[in-house]
Structure 1
């Protein structure tokens, strides 16, 4: 099974006594190491920065159809998962991925966990285009022998200055020095370690080197101390404190619809059939030939015209803002996961489609994120503050989770869930 997520609330420090047990090996799935789920084998293909060419995106759809259940699943790190794979298809899948440049390193493929601001260079704001950092970091990670020792869950974030992916509490975050979130245009980039409230200034031209040095220092500190950890936040005492106070990060996902530099669409629970995916690829081909998958399970099509929105909406993508489906996620649930106590995606879809906010026109973009979980592992839950909807076997428990969350919980039936979730999402952030 995939590794158990940390139980500590997002944004909180991790005291020594609460550090998860890392005595066992890191079982995080990859493109070569398949995970056997109840619905077949699962492959997770890392896409640094969520960047895909239209050719690469088409190859993923073809692999899903030929080898899996015909669907593609985006993750909270902008990666793609293929499910329902036959165990003996691993070699075929690897060959397909190598042919389009999606498997540059067999030894490092699981550590290529890089998220980046998806609107960087697109939306007319004074922000840095971090794609060059993404490509350099990916290449240097794959070329560094020591980097293979990182966990498959270790996350790098490259923020263009707007504070979107900086809010994801990655292990190492690089924040561009100029942009919408900074008042001083000459300020250097800042390096944030774990969930620290302070950052380290980084010399211009040394940004990616600083990111790699931080990751290597983490591994060196573990070897010296004898500690076992997957995340930098689990051992904050082993790493130097930053000197520059960091602001509160907005963490805003791109709104769906037309953007100054392209289009943004949402995927229900991050899933798309191969046919839907091909519609997305067609939009990319008609534009700049590029897709950017977001950590919020959406996709940005750079350079795409608003004229393409009706076709994408007809294919089943979310293209209109203000829906309860915005910032709504769910784990796999039944029947794909044997640990789940419910078919959470079906239950969540019914609740979202009958969300009482819809009739009132209460937009979803400013509401708290909500995540449905089939068990206590809460796989794929968002960072920050969120509404936790946990299956109990006889219904769901609805709680506002995360930093400064209220401790109250509501035990509800499936019929009561829509109202309870909508009320919790209206909680002041």
Structure 2
């Protein structure tokens, strides 16, 4: 599980040199299974990370019957099943279809939508962006052009607290007060009515597809477009019937200008940013429970421990955690939190495993140089730490973290704040990482 990272909503993704893609992306999905050393891998897109109780039960069954007995939470709040046997694709698809987890087989890999996990629960956000996520998902699945998006293209719907706005999405919606939202795609920003937010996000994605086709570089993501390639968002918004809201003169930002860099709402962020901390969450209409998955994995038994879900809703987070809404009082929420702790989930921010993450590593990944999950060590610290089996660093977090990368022969390279940290010996690796996690300056 990765600790909450400070958001960076004021900095859009850098483009740099355009990348030439001569093929479609090979991202796995629920129907397109990826071959790995530990079997087939399925990735399930879960808009806003939301599951019903019945869907959680289905995933527990799929993990136990068809996979390696566990479910991985991705850095986008999606779910992965690993260790799947050859030939199980049809059975898995039937399970997912019956549970409502495959609403569109043509669009199943493009439903990459992250949303503020505590939206509508703790009273801090400016809009319940979980509702935007449901609307955007339906619009995506109904859009013919949207089926052409890459499986890596990402939407982020931030309720104003500045959490998912920092995750480097291709299209970001940031809720403002007074029923408005800022739409961001690359260096383009527009203000729209909150009621039009989902339609605006789809229009921006379709504008990207047009720009990518015109560029001829096969771009999968907005930052891969060549410098100077126009993304005609304004025209697409007009075609979709979305009327941009004029910028507030007091803000002084031309939000329709191609090079405008979006800042936080003029009245400041609505919350502290970052992901939900483990514990109970108080709200105006009840209580929620927030827990973290050790190293981002939940066993089938741990999935079942999430049930019954009091609101028939479970939210997986991009910080590899789980939020359970709908508890009527603090006592009931705390009792469930204790039960989840007994089941092995992380329930406190001072847990030595909180903030420790790792890729799949050996033996599941052929590219990995180490069994990083076995090598990962607990330890308290301010910075998250992420263990990677190779230079690809699959699943690494956004923001600042201690980067631990296997380099072969049991050795690791450690970097903090972008600066290499000397590792005197393998025996001193744990102490080196612990010290790096407590560094506060570069």
Same fold? TM cut 0.5: yes
Q: Identify the range of structure 1 (267-276 vs 224-233) with the bigger mean alpha-carbon deviation.
A: 224-233
Aligned to 1:131: 130
With over 3 angstroms needed to count, the CA separation of the structure-2 counterparts of 1:227 and 1:298, relative to structure 1, is same
Aligned to 1:15: 16
- Decide whether the 8 Å contact of 1:72 with 1:81 is kept in 2: yes
Q: Following the alignment from structure 1 to structure 2, what is the Cα–Cα distance between the partners of residues 211 and 152?
A: 16
Is 1:319 matched with 2:319? no
Aligned to 2:315: 292
Aligned to 1:99: 98
5+ residue gaps, structure 2, are 1-10, 232-256, 328-332
5+ residue gaps, structure 1, are 1-9, 179-185, 358-363
Is 1:214 matched with 2:204? yes
- Decide whether the 8 Å contact of 1:50 with 1:115 is kept in 2: yes
What secondary structure sits across from 2:408 in the alignment? Answer: coil
Is 1:387 matched with 2:402? yes
Is 1:370 matched with 2:388? no
Query: What's the CA shift string for 1:381-405, capped at 9, x where partnerless?
Result: 11122211000113110012xxxx4
With over 3 angstroms needed to count, the CA separation of the structure-2 counterparts of 1:412 and 1:37, relative to structure 1, is farther
Q: Following the alignment from structure 1 to structure 2, what is the Cα–Cα distance between the partners of residues 189 and 244?
A: 15
Superposed CA RMSD in Å reads 2.0
- Superposition TM-score, scaled by structure 1 size: 0.86
What secondary structure sits across from 2:23 in the alignment? Answer: coil
Q: Following the alignment from structure 1 to structure 2, what is the Cα–Cα distance between the partners of residues 147 and 294?
A: 24
Aligned equivalent of 2:258, options 223, 241, 259: 241
Displacement of 1:55: 0.5
With over 3 angstroms needed to count, the CA separation of the structure-2 counterparts of 1:219 and 1:321, relative to structure 1, is same
- Decide whether the 8 Å contact of 1:256 with 1:320 is kept in 2: yes
Query: What's the CA shift string for 1:79-134, capped at 9, x where partnerless?
Result: 11111111211011111111111001111100000000000011132531112111
Aligned equivalent of 2:306, options 261, 266, 280: 280
With over 3 angstroms needed to count, the CA separation of the structure-2 counterparts of 1:204 and 1:406, relative to structure 1, is closer
- Decide whether the 8 Å contact of 1:160 with 1:175 is kept in 2: yes
- Decide whether the 8 Å contact of 2:20 with 2:217 is kept in 1: no
What secondary structure sits across from 1:206 in the alignment? Answer: helix
Aligned to 1:301: 324
Aligned to 1:259: 281
- Decide whether the 8 Å contact of 2:423 with 2:432 is kept in 1: no
What secondary structure sits across from 1:391 in the alignment? Answer: strand
Displacement of 1:326: 2.3
What secondary structure sits across from 1:313 in the alignment? Answer: helix
With over 3 angstroms needed to count, the CA separation of the structure-2 counterparts of 1:295 and 1:42, relative to structure 1, is same
Q: Following the alignment from structure 2 to structure 1, what is the Cα–Cα distance between the partners of residues 103 and 77?
A: 18
- Decide whether the 8 Å contact of 2:70 with 2:297 is kept in 1: yes
- Decide whether the 8 Å contact of 1:333 with 1:344 is kept in 2: yes
What secondary structure sits across from 1:333 in the alignment? Answer: coil
Q: Following the alignment from structure 2 to structure 1, what is the Cα–Cα distance between the partners of residues 432 and 15?
A: 30
Which contiguous aligned blocks of 4+ residues in structure 1 show a shift greater than 4 angstroms?
Answer: 248-251
Aligned to 1:345: 373
Q: Following the alignment from structure 1 to structure 2, what is the Cα–Cα distance between the partners of residues 154 and 230?
A: 7
Aligned to 1:223: 213
- Decide whether the 8 Å contact of 1:333 with 1:343 is kept in 2: yes
Q: Following the alignment from structure 1 to structure 2, what is the Cα–Cα distance between the partners of residues 262 and 324?
A: 23
With over 3 angstroms needed to count, the CA separation of the structure-2 counterparts of 1:233 and 1:150, relative to structure 1, is same
Displacement of 1:243: 4.3
Q: Following the alignment from structure 2 to structure 1, what is the Cα–Cα distance between the partners of residues 182 and 211?
A: 22
Q: Following the alignment from structure 1 to structure 2, what is the Cα–Cα distance between the partners of residues 12 and 98?
A: 35
What secondary structure sits across from 2:280 in the alignment? Answer: strand
The count of corresponding residues between Structure 1 and Structure 2 is: 389
Aligned to 1:79: 78
Is 1:270 matched with 2:296? yes
What secondary structure sits across from 1:87 in the alignment? Answer: coil
Aligned to 2:433: 421
Displacement of 1:20: 4.3
With over 3 angstroms needed to count, the CA separation of the structure-2 counterparts of 1:231 and 1:410, relative to structure 1, is farther
Aligned to 2:3: none
- Decide whether the 8 Å contact of 1:200 with 1:242 is kept in 2: no
Q: Identify the range of structure 1 (225-234 vs 244-253) with the bigger mean alpha-carbon deviation.
A: 244-253
- Superposition TM-score, scaled by structure 2 size: 0.84
